[in-house]
């Protein structure tokens, strides 16, 4: 956004990754400025989830540099990447149906107590304090997504839109600098998508940087500062929404199919 200083938070240079000889990502370069939202779009199989997985340390890139706050994190493990301030949600969020909203949010907090998250009455004081800290962080995250009043309900009672918000609360538990959302609007009703848009605006106001992977074009077009388009692992376009929307190559590769 215009009122943020133009400093680069995440900078990818020539990132490549193959699976069994198939190039899921081929020399992908782009950067995300602090406090902005960049959306990654492209047809199925374009490499969007792979890119998130490579940034978060689920997969190591086979080549390239991933600079986060000036440090190359390419090939670091998922735990290390998370500890540096990068969090993500999943395309198909794995929430625990038998647990409450709060307990689900707590599973995202780092530094889980050694005695297990739900310590018994005999737990050591240090473990109890740790659990209390995690509980507080989870409550703060739930307040941020507007679900603190539902904290003690079983998650199975929530509609899809709110379950997705719990997934975001879980990711926010670690107080990340960069939040990556993998298809958060998938399957949402219009009013649920609107609530998600408001939340994303709120997170940006709070200074978070967001990398969004999403198929819902009106959603992407209205929210993004910048859009990067992938096709078969290659970046085919990059720019502001207006420019990407009118790019013939993008229309041919992607938007044409969607409309």
- Smallest CA-to-CA distance from 181 within 231, 156, 206, 216 is with 216
Cβ at position 213, least distance to Mg ion in Å: 6
> Which lies closer to ligand ADP via its Cβ, residue 158 or residue 229?
229
Q: Which stretch binds ligand ADP (CB under 6 A): 37-45, 73-81, 153-161, 189-197?
A: 37-45
- Smallest CA-to-CA distance from 207 within 39, 37, 80, 67 is with 37
Q: Percentages helix, strand, coil for the chain, rounded to the nearest 5?
A: 40, 25, 35
**Sole binder of ligand ADP in the list 2, 3, 21, 44 (CB under 6 A):** 44
Give SS3 for 240. coil
Is residue 53 within the footprint of Mg ion (CB under 5 A)? no
Is residue 22 within the footprint of ligand ADP (CB under 6 A)? yes
Cross-sheet strand order for the sheet of 22-33: 22-33, 8-19, 63-68, 71-72
Buried-state track 142-158, b at ≥16 Cβ within 10 A, e below 16:
bebbebbebbeeebeeb
Q: Which does 45 bind (CB under 5 to 8 A by kind): Mg ion, ligand ADP, none?
A: ligand ADP
Is residue 19 within the footprint of ligand ADP (CB under 6 A)? yes
Q: Which does 96 bind (CB under 5 to 8 A by kind): ligand ADP, Mg ion, none?
A: none
Is residue 102 within the footprint of ligand ADP (CB under 6 A)? no
Is residue 56 within the footprint of Mg ion (CB under 5 A)? no
CA-CA distances (angstroms) from residue 19 to 23, 24, 209?
7, 7, 29
Residues at the interface with Mg ion (CB under 5 A): 48-49
Residues at the interface with ligand ADP (CB under 6 A): 19, 22, 24, 42, 44-50
């Amino acid at each position: 956004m215009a009122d943020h200083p133009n400093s680069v938070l995440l900078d990818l240079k020539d990132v490549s990754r193959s699976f069994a000889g198939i190039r899921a990502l081929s020399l992908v370069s782009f950067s995300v400025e602090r406090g902005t939202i960049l959306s990654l779009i492209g047809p199925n199989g374009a490499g969007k989830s792979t890119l998130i997985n490579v940034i978060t340390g689920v997969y190591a890139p086979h080549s390239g540099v991933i600079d986060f706050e000036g440090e190359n994190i390419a090939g670091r493990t998922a735990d290390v990447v998370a500890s540096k301030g990068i969090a993500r949600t999943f395309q198909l969020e794995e929430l625990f149906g038998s647990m409450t909203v709060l307990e689900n949010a707590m599973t995202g907090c780092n530094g889980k107590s050694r005695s297990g998250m739900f310590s018994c009455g005999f737990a050591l004081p240090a473990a109890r304090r740790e659990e209390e800290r995690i509980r507080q962080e989870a409550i703060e995250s739930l307040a941020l997504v507007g679900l603190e009043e539902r904290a003690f309900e079983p998650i199975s009672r929530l509609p899809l839109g709110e379950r997705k918000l719990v997934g975001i609360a879980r990711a926010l538990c670690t107080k990340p600098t960069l939040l990556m959302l993998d298809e958060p609007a998938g399957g949402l009703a219009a009013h649920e998508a609107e609530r998600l848009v408001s939340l994303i605006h709120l997170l940006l106001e709070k200074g978070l940087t967001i990398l969004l992977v999403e198929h819902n074009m009106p959603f992407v077009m209205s929210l993004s500062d910048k859009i990067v388009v992938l096709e078969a692992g290659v970046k085919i376009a990059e720019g502001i929404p207006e420019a990407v929307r009118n790019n013939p190559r993008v229309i041919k590769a992607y938007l044409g199919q969607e409309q």
